Copies of this chain bind each other. A is one copy, B any other.
Amino acid sequence: MPATSSSATFLATLGPSGTFSELAAREVLRLPQFTKAPPTISFYSSLSRTLQAIPEQAGIAVVPLENIVEGIVSPVVDSFLKQPLQIIAEVAIPVRFSVVANHPQPDVIFAQFVAQGQCSDWLSQHDIEVISTASNTAALAQLQATTQAAAAIIPEHLLAAAEPNASAADWAWVEHDVTDYAHNVTRFVAVQQPQPLAAPDHSIRYKSSIVIVDDADHPGLLLEHLQAFAVHQINLLALVSRPTGQRFGHYHFFIEFEGHLQHPRVQAALSAIELRNQVIQLGSYEFSS
């Protein structure tokens, strides 16, 4: 089903408002192609629902693709295998978490599942009971609602907006940069329903994304695929295996590389890969600076 004129006016992203996804979506809307008639952001409760909004409810979706520490966001890559999607842009969003507390010695700390992983060092150094929340925004909301001595791990950008307290100074305890890695960053991508690729602009440094679908039963295929990139001198940027779900050790491969899908060297490499496996071409887009 094509995007309708009305769906084109919406951009889908993971809610609720206030999370890193909204930050990424606003960054995408600053790209030249969106400044003229920016779509309205609408929030969805899960990554798969966000992507399934395309094409009928939204013309575009913005989802996290890869965190520098946690690696690829599996549900997004798995969606590439389930529905036709095209990546048209990427933005890199720094991931910074803070701890806020209503008491100097909180008994519990609210934190979303992924945030718990990102701040595992801090959590292991503090003996506070962790309460899982559905989102980062929810962690803050639950802290604000509780009467317990409590804390929350929240994205740094939420701190300013964190009512009822007028400012950070009003919290009993605020600690910044509680993530395990100082330069933590997540790449988000803007995706749409696949459309014909525009010819490459030679002033732009492109990256391209594909999924090699494991539809053959031939051992050692990855080696042959990597050789196809190597013989055509194409630099790999990402290489992630995703289980087929059929047997252990059988994988689809999500691969990113330098260059545009319409470059002759890329087409030669893909023609070799396609002798052995199906390839899903996900798009070519500019490197985020």
Q: What is the number of residues of chain A that contact chain B, defined by CB distance less than 8 Å?
A: 58
Complex interface residues of chain A between 228 and 250 (CB less than 8 A to chain B):
228, 230-233, 235-243, 245-249
A231-B237 in contact (CB<8A): no
Q: Is A117 an interface residue (CB 8 A)?
A: yes
A233-B275 in contact (CB<8A): yes
Q: Is A32 an interface residue (CB 8 A)?
A: no
Q: Sorted from nearest, which 4 A-B pairs have the closest CB atoms?
A: A268-B268, A223-B226, A231-B272, A113-B113
Complex interface residues of chain A between 180 and 217 (CB less than 8 A to chain B):
181, 187
A243-B75 in contact (CB<8A): no
Does more than half of chain A's interface fall in helix, strand or loop, or is it mixed? mixed
Instruction: Return the chain B residue nearest A181 by Cβ.
Output: B245
A50 shortest CB reach to chain B, Å? 12
A248 shortest CB reach to chain B, Å? 6
A247 shortest CB reach to chain B, Å? 7
A237-B249 in contact (CB<8A): yes
A69-B245 in contact (CB<8A): yes
* Residue among A49, A74, A130, A235 with max Cβ neighbours from chain B (10 Å): A74
